[in-house]
């Protein structure tokens, strides 16, 4: 995901999560979820829209594109695997694991991600 900055990945992951929870995504929901201002959300969404990851058919509603969904799911998969590694294997608390996974997910390689997922699947 070298074409996205860390914050862009966070936005896509948040949009995907909100969509799964509520069905529709509004800018205010993204701001609340990420703990950022509405102007920050609008700026990020403009960039994501220019990159082809989201569309904004009206002022407040956000739709994730197929390419955006693909990237968001990849970030979410890394996040989930890292959280599981930290909690289930290393015994880190859920709260700390969530924060650390969010930091790590942006920097690990695809190879490491796939090895981590395979390792966790063997444990099941």
pLDDT digits (tens, 9 = 90+) for 33-90: 999 999 999 999 999 999 999 998 767 799 999 999 999 999 999 999 999 999 999 9
Q: By C-alpha distance, which of 84, 62, 82 is closest to 12?
A: 62
pLDDT at 2: 41
Nearest-10 Cα torsion for 34, 35, 39, 45: 0
Higher pLDDT, 3 or 33: 33
Structure confidence at residue 123 (pLDDT): 87
42 CB-contact burial (10 Å; exposed 0-12 / middle 13-18 / buried 19+): middle
Q: Is the pLDDT of residue 31 over 70?
A: yes
- Tell whether the model's pLDDT for residue 1 goes beyond 60: no
Residue 11 in this model has a pLDDT that exceeds 50 = yes
* Cα 98 from Cα 11, distance rounded (Å): 16
Summary mean pLDDT of the chain: 92
Task: Give the sign of the dihedral formed by CA 102, CA 108, CA 111, CA 115.
Answer: negative
Separation in Å, CA 8 to CA 3, 79, 94? 9, 15, 24
């Amino acid at each position: 995901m070298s074409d996205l900055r860390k914050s862009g990945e966070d936005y896509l992951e948040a949009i995907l999560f909100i969509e799964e929870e509520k069905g529709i995504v509004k800018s205010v929901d993204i701001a609340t979820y990420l703990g950022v201002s509405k102007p920050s959300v609008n700026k990020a969404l403009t960039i994501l829209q220019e990159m082809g990851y989201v569309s904004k058919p009206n002022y407040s509603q956000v739709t994730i594109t197929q390419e955006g969904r693909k990237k968001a799911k990849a970030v979410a998969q890394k996040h989930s695997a890292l959280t599981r590694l930290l909690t289930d294997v290393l015994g880190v608390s859920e709260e700390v694991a969530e924060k650390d996974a969010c930091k790590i997910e942006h920097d690990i390689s695809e190879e490491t991600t796939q090895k981590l997922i395979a390792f966790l699947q063997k444990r099941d």
